[in-house]
Amino acid sequence: MHEICIVFNDKEHTQMEDVMNKDPRIEKIENLLDKLGNIAVEAFHYIALFIIGCMIAWSAVHTIIEILTMKQYASIDDILLLFIYLELGAMVGIYFKTNHMPVRFLIYIAITALTRLLISDIQHDHKADMDLVIITGSVLILAIAILIVRYASWTYPSVIPDKHTEKSLPHGKTPRPEDDELA
């Protein structure tokens, strides 16, 4: 049999003893600071999300008031802009509930914004040019990205429980796509 011998120099040995014999008061202070840091980060998230949610609602209300007071009707641009506000609001709501940002909603917003740009470009220029091909190609790429994300979430589902409940999967059960609320 071979014996394994680990040799430390005095400095490393002293540092290891310090780590292993840590003062309980220092550990309590570190734990307290860690908890305070987590609370501060979570408070920042809530405050920032609340402000973002208020700004989205304010912008949507402003757009609706503008449509009702200054215009005779809502154009397709206005309707698509309201859809963008709806998707942004849904994204903020999902983040409030789960602490996870669904990538698909960002892609939906991008597709809606590009569609709005496409319609606006066609209405104002009344001509077909390379810009239309680029915009529609971008929409196609984003639609393919959604298919890839959907396929990945169907094949490799991740069950995200509500952040206020500690509900986990039963032992031995694998997550199914129908369990994934973001799929």
pLDDT by residue (tens digit) across 48-67? 999 999 999 999 999 999 99
Can you tell me the distance from the alpha carbon of 114 to that of 144, in angstroms, rounded to the nearest whole number?
Answer: 15
Confidence check: pLDDT of 181 > 80? no
Residue 37 has a pLDDT of 92
Q: CB of 88 within 8 A of CB of 109?
A: yes
Calculate the dihedral angle through the C-alpha atoms of 163, 83, 180, 49, rounding to the nearest 10 degrees.
-20
pLDDT of residue 178: 53
Instruction: Give the pLDDT of residue 18.
Output: 55
pLDDT at position 162 over 70: no
By C-alpha distance, which of 114, 163, 164, 121 is closest to 141? 114
**What Rg, from alpha-carbon coordinates, does the chain have?**
27
Structure tokens given for 154: 């169907």
More confident residue, 108 or 167: 108
Average model confidence (pLDDT) across the chain: 81
Q: What is the pLDDT of residues 82-102, one digit of tens each?
A: 999 999 998 888 888 887 777
As a whole-number percent, the residues of the chain with pLDDT over 70 amount to: 74
Residue ranges per domain, the chain? 19-179
Q: Write the CA distances from 143 to 84, 112, 114, 146, integer angstroms.
A: 16, 11, 12, 5
Helix (H) or strand (E) holding 53: helix 24-70
Q: In a 3-state reduction of DSSP, which class is residue 135? A: helix
